[in-house]
Structure 1
Amino acid sequence: MFARSGALGASIAFAGNLTELFAGTAAAQHLVHTGYGPVVPDPKGLLDLPEGFRYTVLSREGDPLRSGEGKVPSNHDGMAAFAGRHGSARVVHLVRNHENRVTGKVPVPTVEGLTYDPAGKGGCTALTLDSRNRVLSERVAIAGTAVNCAGGPTPWGTWLTCEETEDKAGTNGYTKDHGFIFEVDPADPHRSGAVPLTAMGRFQHEAIAVDPRRGIVYETEDAFERPFGLFYRFLPGKPLGGPGSLRAGGRLQAMRVPGVPDLSSIQEPGATFDGVEWADVPDPLAARTPIRFQDFGPKGITHAQKLEGCYWGGTSVYFVSSYARSAEGSAADHYGQIWRYDPSARRLTLVIVFGPDTDVQLPGESPDNICLAPSGGLMVCEDGNGAQHVYGVTRKGEVYAMARNRQNIGTPEEPEWGEFAGVTFSPDGRTMYVNCYTPGTTFAVTGPWRRG
């Protein structure tokens, strides 16, 4: 089943039952162009949006941080928005990851009390915005971490930032082991500090989602080589215990789908697997062996390439496999999947399969960060080849282009556009915030958003 997005030269293919994400129905949907109309070229050459929408640039890499702590860091990635107060006024706290490696262009400045490893170049920055999306403050929220890719919000209003690396102390100049999750308080980062949540595992973290009723934290692993990453759950010792409670420890487990060693082998949308098992991770700190290489017994464990976005919706957790390539070791090829795990039924379902229509250079492949929209649908950041979009998916399973990146980081003859990341909405649903990864740019998008 194919959908034409209406964007210039863009085509995407979605197979599967998108309505199942929101209504629990079983019939596959034929997707048609819908949404807010075609994206319109931006005369400023930054961000194309549908007619009636407009953007504000909140922050760009290399500009001075308003706190005076240094420059806005590079590689804007995962992000979340939280309600807050500034005196008597309501504000939005925006926490933004910076996926800086050792050679990051603009590192996250080190700040006393907020720095884990002075050799780490990654971390988070926090912006406080008023009701008109004017920046009231911008400061370092955590520093000295590495390759902060995505993460996720907690039910108690903090951000869990994830390191997408397995580098240990002594590697690449690091003075401490990396590959952890850190909790960040968006209103006052000094309350959370820079403490690794070691019981949640040391691996190439991507994103998390928290079950708001049970307190279980689900985690994705974006491993770069075989054996590929695992899908985890963390059973906290103090579930839903509030800020700092995840430091109390817990059990880390990995998902085992009986008879399915590699999720890429499943190609049929709607395929369902009951009796999903969870196996204790032998060594969560991966002191000698990365977790995905560890011995999970004769039944083995289930792997998948490029496990990325993760979010909680309704009664289930959804997670993204951005792509799979048999040439790189996967069991089969695909251009992106969304899986749904229902913990009450212990049931895993392949909900969506992504893919380009005919040309792999066209958009509509490699879904990455993902979030729920105020309308009840999805917003999906694209991280593939060619033009880069934020795509919307309605409750009825209709697909449309919401934004297109116009910042050419290539040449006029061979243009190239950076990925989108960190899509999220303000607590009142009136603003979409999204990052351009490079050049690092954070946008606030307002307009006639539909409400679900």
Structure 2
Amino acid sequence: MVSFDRRTLLRGAALAGAGMAAGPFAGFAARAGASPAPQVELVPIADERDGAVRLWLPDGFGYRSFHDTETPVILDDGATLPGRHDGMGAFRGRHGNYLLVRNHEMNTIGTAFGPAGTVYDPAAGGGTTTVEVTRHGAVVGARTSLSGTLNNCSGGIMPWGSWITCEETVNGPDVGPDFTGTPNIALQRRHGFVFEVPLRGAVDPQPITAAGRFAHESVAYDPRHGVLYLTEDNFGYASGFYRYLPPRHAKGGGRIADGGRLQALAVRGRPQHNLAAEQQTGATFPVEWVDIDDPAPTFPYTPGVSAPTSNDTALSYVAAQGWAGGAAWFSRLEGSAYDRGVVHFTSTQGGGAPEAGPGPIADGFGNGHGQIWAYDIDAQVLRLTYQSPGPDTLDFPDNVTTSPRGTLVVCEDSTGDNYLRGLTRHGQLFDIGLNRLVGGNGAPRYGDEFAGATFSPDGHTLFVNIQATKGMTFAIWGPWRRIGV
């Protein structure tokens, strides 16, 4: 979810498609205009924390911000709260409160921020924090839950009460510097993995290596089959959509086991099909899965010496195995969510003119303004449910979650105005919120992206982050059903 300069070459166009599909896709219309979009007007709303206007929301809604790192925030364990609040999951807590497990997409190399028992790599600055809050966003307590990781972007909720957090990087002592140019020599462990973070008790800060070493963004868990679906946000190359088959089903308890099998999605009969290019909205594709034989590589290196393997080589190593077997090309896959047999996921720069090859592309793989895909697990069919017709409608969709009634809530990661959007089950897009943050220096922060949207288990509160160096979290409540959420 790292923000880069946007593509400006071409604008993708959403085209009319075929009729509605049966099964889990039923209700998601294949064409815009199948039913009227909700009519939602956004108005300035004061933050209950201090009366400042930070969001525009529908009339009748309220919100409270917390953990604003414009000033230092000290956690209960003595650690200083990092910024760059990103992916997040909400769980039931004590006394009607909620527990949030929240990522911090920190790429700093130096010192881990948390206490010793939470640390994976002492030289890595990312991780997760766990926060207890009331339904109206008052903080009861907060602590480090995982530290010593890098670029913790998004993740996914496990139904037994844990959070899978994803590293959006392949940095490590065996890989050369990434786009920041920072040497990786100080790192002590390989990065680019997913980790399971329990709600309570001690974390085991060890990755699930068989789920792959690549630029992970998010995961969505299929509880019926015990499978993790994973998105890849590889900025300069084509990204893949993967599934991880654990060696055993967690069956509602325990944790995701390491040692399983990683596979990449391919369109049946169309090897290396470019799904990042403009598609017909509502188009469907039967899929198959390609095995990844070496999902967690260690590249040769000498400790204390800059590694000979370039970051680009490491970034595309897993994806290239998929391409060799015919895996499909996507553009920057980011948020994902499981709902009633379907995995919904976003392609941030999908929907424009096709690229000539899978990369590297200096300003990002994909020429569009965003696509939203849905994968029907039992039918093994992929469907394009929405494609942005231009930046004024939807610009760079990122994290996504589902409301209790099945509406998708989409976070925008644009360089201009950033919205929270809703996508109905009839394929209609509408506005839910607008960032109107102003920094302590008086400068607008409208370009700071929304991230980590997640509903409380009872559907009362939507929690969402501002992913920026000076980050914060919002608790938003109101008459969701009235606006179609």
Judge same fold: TM > 0.5, yes or no.
yes
- For the 8 Å contact 1:282–1:294, the answer to whether it is kept is no
Q: 2:401 aligns with which of 364, 367, 371?
A: 371
Q: 1:315 aligns with which of 306, 316, 341?
A: 341
- The answer on 1:187 being equivalent to 2:200 is yes
Cα distance in 2 for residues equivalent to 1:68 and 1:413: 33
Cα distance in 1 for residues equivalent to 2:196 and 2:54: 32
Shift of 1:306: 0.5
TM-score, normalised on structure 1? Answer: 0.86
More deviation in 285-294 or 378-387? 285-294
- For the 8 Å contact 1:74–1:98, the answer to whether it is kept is yes
In structure 2, relative to structure 1, the CA distance for the partners of 1:416 and 1:173 (3 Å cut) is: farther
- For the 8 Å contact 1:75–1:100, the answer to whether it is kept is yes
Cα distance in 2 for residues equivalent to 1:38 and 1:19: 31
- Alignment root-mean-square deviation, CA: 2.9
Shift of 1:416: 4.7
**Structure 1 partner of 2:434:** 404
Cα distance in 1 for residues equivalent to 2:45 and 2:14: 25
**Cα distance per residue 1:85-128 (max 9 Å; x no partner):** 3xxx2321101100001269xx8622121100011100001111
Amino acid at match of 1:94: L
2:337 match: secondary structure: strand
**Cα distance per residue 1:133-178 (max 9 Å; x no partner):** 4221111110000000000011212100000001122625211100
**Structure 2 partner of 1:4:** none
Amino acid at match of 1:450: R
- For the 8 Å contact 2:413–2:449, the answer to whether it is kept is yes
Cα distance in 2 for residues equivalent to 1:331 and 1:142: 31
- For the 8 Å contact 1:379–1:392, the answer to whether it is kept is yes
Shift of 1:343: 2.3
Cα distance in 1 for residues equivalent to 2:454 and 2:29: 28
- For the 8 Å contact 1:151–1:159, the answer to whether it is kept is yes
More deviation in 47-56 or 414-423? 414-423
Cα distance in 2 for residues equivalent to 1:425 and 1:338: 20
Cα distance in 2 for residues equivalent to 1:223 and 1:343: 24
**Structure 2: gaps (5+ residues):** 1-11, 175-183, 300-313, 356-360
Q: 2:257 aligns with which of 241, 247, 269?
A: 247
**Structure 2 partner of 1:52:** 60
More deviation in 129-138 or 241-250? 241-250
More deviation in 146-155 or 57-66? 57-66
Shift of 1:82: 0.6
**Cα distance per residue 1:66-95 (max 9 Å; x no partner):** 40422221101000101133xxx2321101
- The answer on 1:91 being equivalent to 2:121 is no
- The answer on 1:444 being equivalent to 2:475 is yes
**Structure 1 partner of 2:164:** 160
Amino acid at match of 1:73: P
**Structure 2 partner of 1:291:** 317
In structure 2, relative to structure 1, the CA distance for the partners of 1:293 and 1:215 (3 Å cut) is: closer
Cα distance in 2 for residues equivalent to 1:232 and 1:301: 10
Amino acid at match of 1:398: Q
Q: 1:216 aligns with which of 213, 217, 227?
A: 227
**Structure 1: gaps (5+ residues):** 1-11
Shift of 1:311: 1.1
Matches within 5 A, 1:229-240: 229-240=239-250
1:246 match: secondary structure: coil
- The answer on 1:346 being equivalent to 2:346 is no
Q: 1:207 aligns with which of 207, 218, 237?
A: 218
**Structure 2 partner of 1:28:** 31
- For the 8 Å contact 2:385–2:427, the answer to whether it is kept is no
Matches within 5 A, 1:411-426: 416-426=446-456
**Structure 1 partner of 2:6:** none
Cα distance in 1 for residues equivalent to 2:92 and 2:319: 41
Amino acid at match of 1:83: R
Amino acid at match of 1:263: L
TM-score, normalised on structure 2? Answer: 0.80
More deviation in 208-217 or 286-295? 286-295
Q: 2:43 aligns with which of 35, 39, 60?
A: 39
Q: 1:259 aligns with which of 270, 285, 289?
A: 270
Amino acid at match of 2:413: D
Shift of 1:280: 1.0
More deviation in 148-157 or 124-133? 124-133
More deviation in 62-71 or 311-320? 62-71
In structure 2, relative to structure 1, the CA distance for the partners of 1:164 and 1:54 (3 Å cut) is: same
Amino acid at match of 2:97: V
**Cα distance per residue 1:2-42 (max 9 Å; x no partner):** xxxxxxxxxx9866689877634655231755254323265
1:193 match: secondary structure: coil
In structure 2, relative to structure 1, the CA distance for the partners of 1:377 and 1:242 (3 Å cut) is: closer
Amino acid at match of 1:46: R
Q: 2:283 aligns with which of 250, 264, 271?
A: 271
**Cα distance per residue 1:199-258 (max 9 Å; x no partner):** 1111110000011100110001111222x2211101111112455532342111111113
**Structure 1 partner of 2:304:** none
**Structure 1 partner of 2:326:** 300
**Structure 2 partner of 1:120:** 124
2:26 match: secondary structure: coil
